[in-house]
Amino acid sequence: MALVNEHYLKLSDNYLFEDIAKKVNAFRLSHPKVRVISLGIGDVTRPLCPAVTEAMHRAVDEMASAATFRGYGPEHGYDFLREAIVKNDFIPRGVRPDLDEIFVNDGAKSDTGNIGEIVRWDNSIGVTDPIYPVYIDSNVMCGRAGTLSDGRWSNVNYMPCTAENNFIPQIPDHRVDMIYLCYPNNPTGTVLSKSELRRWVDYALENDTLLLFDAAYEAYIQDDDIPHSIYEIKGARKVAIEFRSYSKTAGFTGVRCGYTVIPKEVTAATLDNKRRIELNRLWSRRQSTKFNGTSYISQRAAEAIYSPEGKKQIRETIAYYMDNAAYMLNALKGAGLEVYGGRNAPYIWMKTPGGTPSRKFFEQMLYATGVVCTPGAGFGPSGEGYVRLTAFGNSEDCHEAMERITAWAGN
């Protein structure tokens, strides 16, 4: 008799964004004349830039010829992309990872969800709160999170990020084995300065803690003093794994490509504490077994964003979204609403008026304005009392959504 993995039964029936989609669809059915504007799910709307589509067309033509056809690619990714990553994403910031420390994937979500396979199920974990749901859910699935009570998992160390502490999480006063950090942050849109990030690296070095650093939104950083990579901090190569994504950088949500960096210095101990094992080697073994590599066409597309034309074009797309964010911030502030983020990330984190529960406010705003947000409670206990808005819509929709929301807020 096959037995189910009962840890899966601890999860809610629907992933956060599935639940939102169901409620929005129900609204559309009952209000067919309302044009719904979605500022909830963080999907992009601008088309792929010309440099990317041209590279994809060339790659498709290669796949159509026996002389240039590609079958299975290397699990780490093709050297042409990894070399472009090192040259463009890291060397200008004083960082030089080896090629075999870079693992090309089908998007950061996969690797952030799967990375826990190479460490013991009973490691303690810490998360900044609120947090991207995948970090928690993937640990629930293997039993590492414990049991759920009053919205909190028993084996998770929550580090609140709220207006009261300026969204700067407090470093634990005890050792935690693994800590997830996401900066620029999803969902709050806030950032950590270099000095704040250095404190986390110092903590990890002192406590033998593994930092899992999600830098999916680094391309949106506007301020010069905000680090784009955790490896800009001295010592981080010994304690940190970094995740990158082209989904929001270059609109690859439908193309699927990103990468993970695992320095060879990052190790974890055996249970008897007699040996240190390189996590790079374990992840390489895991990928060789479970992953056949990202498609050649997607990797050629990713390579193209590093060309002079590609860099210029994706900067224009990012500027488009950040213009949306600036407009949204100004409009919401002008309406007397309390908002955060939106400066170095494409997310606006809005406090619900009067302390309205976030799920209730989500439905109130949907039915009053036809605009979709994401309830903050879906991101963790400290997300209660907030909602997330994204700047990834087209400009006209963002402007209309702000007109609807500000008119509603003024009533």
Residues annotated within the binding site for substrate are 15, 42, 109, 132, 186, 292, 388
Residue 26: burial class (beta carbons within 10 Å; 0-12, 13-18, 19+): exposed
In angstroms, what CA-CA distances link 74 with 37, 164, 242, 292?
41, 47, 20, 8
What CA–CA distance (Å, rounded) separates 324 from 321?
5
Q: Which residues are annotated as a binding site?
A: 15, 42, 72, 108-109, 132, 186, 217, 245-247, 256, 292, 388
**In the structure encoding, which two tokens stand for residue 344, read together?**
């170095």
Helical packing angle, 296-304 and 50-63, nearest 10°: 150
Of 249, 248, 247, 282, the C-alpha closest to 266 is 282
Backbone angles phi and psi of 42, in degrees to 5: -80, 55
Give the residue ranges of the annotated binding site for pyridoxal 5'-phosphate.
72, 108-109, 132, 186, 217, 245-247, 256, 292
Structure tokens at 18: 């599935």
